[in-house]
Structure 1
Amino acid sequence: MSGTPVTHLAIIPDGNRRWARARGLSVQDGHRAGVAAIDNAIRAAFDVGVEVVTFWWGSPANLTQRAPDEVRGIVGALQEWLESRAPQLLQETQARFEAHGRIEALCPSLLPAIAHATERSGSGPRRVVLLMAYDGRDELREAAAALAGGRAESLEAGLWTGHLPDVDLLLRSGG
């Protein structure tokens, strides 16, 4: 089934803590459940013709304001997904994978898992994008500096996500 006017779907998986607490589960269980929902969201989006699915998993401020144990839980759940389930899903859906943000500064332990998923991703026109330790203002500041410094021909060319279509629909779960 295709023909959806939505080309780029962005998802902010918010409310994992609230969801877990409402069910008497640990915060880590909530984050694991949030990560577990990624596969279904990607398949459902691709099934209706969406070409790009972006998950914005946390801004630098969001990650630095959480307890270290919680951040380790989020990163660990994403790492497990990237290493175990993402490669097969990306191959099956022929989707390419990419990640953007200040990952090397705030979540360096994710870098090998991101490389693993990227190397094993599909080669089709679809994309799955992970934004982790991402802030749009950081991206704009860096793009403006690249433009001013002659390292980019345009502001869009300096953006980390400048090659992606504009987001058509943003979903923010609420736990």
Structure 2
Amino acid sequence: MSSVPILSAVPVAALVPRHVAIIMDGNGRWAKKRFLPRFAGHKAGVEAVRKVTRAARAMGIEALTLYAFSSENWRRPAEEVSDLMGLLRHFIRSDIDELARENVRLRVIGDYHSFSADLVAMVDDAIARTASNTGPILAIALNYGAQAELVIAARRLAERAARGELDPATIDSDAIEAELDTRDLPPLDLMIRTSGEQRLSNFLLWQAAYAELLFVDTLWPDFDAAALGDAIAAFGTRQRRYGGL
């Protein structure tokens, strides 16, 4: 799969995807190009999150899922992990009021309970504050890995079958999807990865089965409302056959 040329156009409402996921890549390279520490890139990346989430709401996207911290990110230097956790705390403190006011439902996918107790409490509170909202969904992937998600789903189904609550012969794709972290989100329509890399990096592997994939060279801190609009316009040119003609 090669990078797709981006079209400069205003997306047609009827062609706006219901669910968009973004692999936010390139913070470190953005900082390196400017002779700045990696933390500066991550901080700029948080600003990009604000711009893109606001643009997604304005465009009518029902669900936006952002890959914020993968289960593999624990392998990074401890100082960088600490910086990322600090930015997450700052984002929750500074943005939860806006999300609540704008009728956004905050969701988290992944095992964020592995974080420190104070951060888990902050995330739980933010989710609770927006739980009754009826507007678009902002899903943040924290300590998320798609392979682990599938393993957990399979284990739950196996445990139910072992207890006699489920006939293994009845397990189908719907049964698996019902056990995934994204079970209450719309089907994934479009996955975007920034920075020019062309891989899924263990993100939404099941959900991306029929999603349109778009790889752009823009580094995440430079990805903004206009870039999202171009991506949606490109999505509108795709013919989605789902295996048919």
Tell me if TM exceeds 0.5: yes
After the TM superposition, which segments of 4 or more aligned residues of structure 1 sit over 4 Å from their partners? none
Partner of 2:151: 141
2:16/2:59 contact within 8 Å kept: no
For the Cα contact (< 8 Å) 1:2–1:47, is it kept in 2? Answer: no
Task: Give the corresponding residue for 1:117.
Answer: 126
Q: Is it true that 1:128 corresponds to 2:138 in the alignment?
A: yes
Q: Is 1:3 aligned to 2:14, yes or no? A: yes
Counterpart check, 1:21 vs 2:42? no
Output aligned runs, 1:54-73, within 5 Å: 54-61=65-72, 63-73=73-83
- What is the Cα deviation at residue 117 of structure 1? 1.8
Aligned residues: 172
Task: State the Cα distance separating 1:88 from its structure 2 match.
Answer: 2.2
Residue 100 (structure 2) pairs with residue 91 (structure 1): yes
Q: Secondary structure at the match of 2:14?
A: coil
C-alpha separation in 2, matches of 1:136 and 1:126? 23
Q: 1:160 aligns with which of 156, 181, 184?
A: 181
Instruction: State which structure, 1 or 2, has the greater radius of gyration over its C-alpha atoms.
Output: 2
Deviations 1:21-74 (A, max 9, x none): 11121111111111121121011111111000111112211x122101001111
> Is residue 7–residue 50 contact of structure 1 (8 Å, CA) maintained in 2?
yes
**Letter of the structure 1 residue corresponding to residue 102 of structure 2:** T
Between the aligned residues of both structures, percent identity stands at 31
Q: Indicate the SS of the match to 1:94.
A: coil
Question: Take 1:3 and 1:123, find their aligned partners in 2: how far apart are those partners?
Answer: 24
Distance in 1 of aligned mates of 2:14 and 2:54: 16
In the alignment, which of 37, 49, 57 is matched to residue 38 of structure 1? 49
Residue 101, structure 1, aligned to residue 110, structure 2? yes
Q: 1:74 to 1:58 in 2, by over 3 A?
A: same
Verify the 8 A CA contact 1:13 1:173 in the aligned structure 2: yes
SS state at 1:159 partner: coil
AA matched with 1:75: M
One-letter amino acid of the counterpart of residue 153, structure 2: A
**Structure 1 residue 83 displacement after superposition:** 1.6
The CA distance in 1 between the partners of 2:22 and 2:102, in whole Å, is: 18
**TM-score normalised by length of structure 1:** 0.89
Gaps in structure 2 of 5+ consecutive residues: 1-11, 167-174, 196-218, 220-245
Query: Which one is further off, 110-119 or 49-58?
Result: 110-119
Local SS of the residue matching 1:170 = strand
Describe the superposition over 1:58-109 as per-residue Cα deviations: whole angstroms up to 9, x where unpaired: 2211x12210100111111111101221x1221232110011212222x335
- Is the CA contact (8 Å cut-off) linking 1:7 and 1:168 kept in structure 2? yes
Whole-Å separation in 1 of the counterparts to 2:38 and 2:54: 26
Question: Once the 2 structures are TM-superposed, how far is the Cα of residue 144 of structure 1 from its aligned partner?
Answer: 0.8
SS at match of 1:165: coil
Instruction: Output the CA distance in 2 between the equivalents of 1:59 and 1:13.
Output: 11
Query: How large is the RMSD of aligned CA atoms in angstroms?
Result: 1.9
| Structure 1 residue 159: Cα displacement | 1.1
**Is the Cα contact below 8 Å between 1:53 and 1:129 reproduced in 2?**
yes
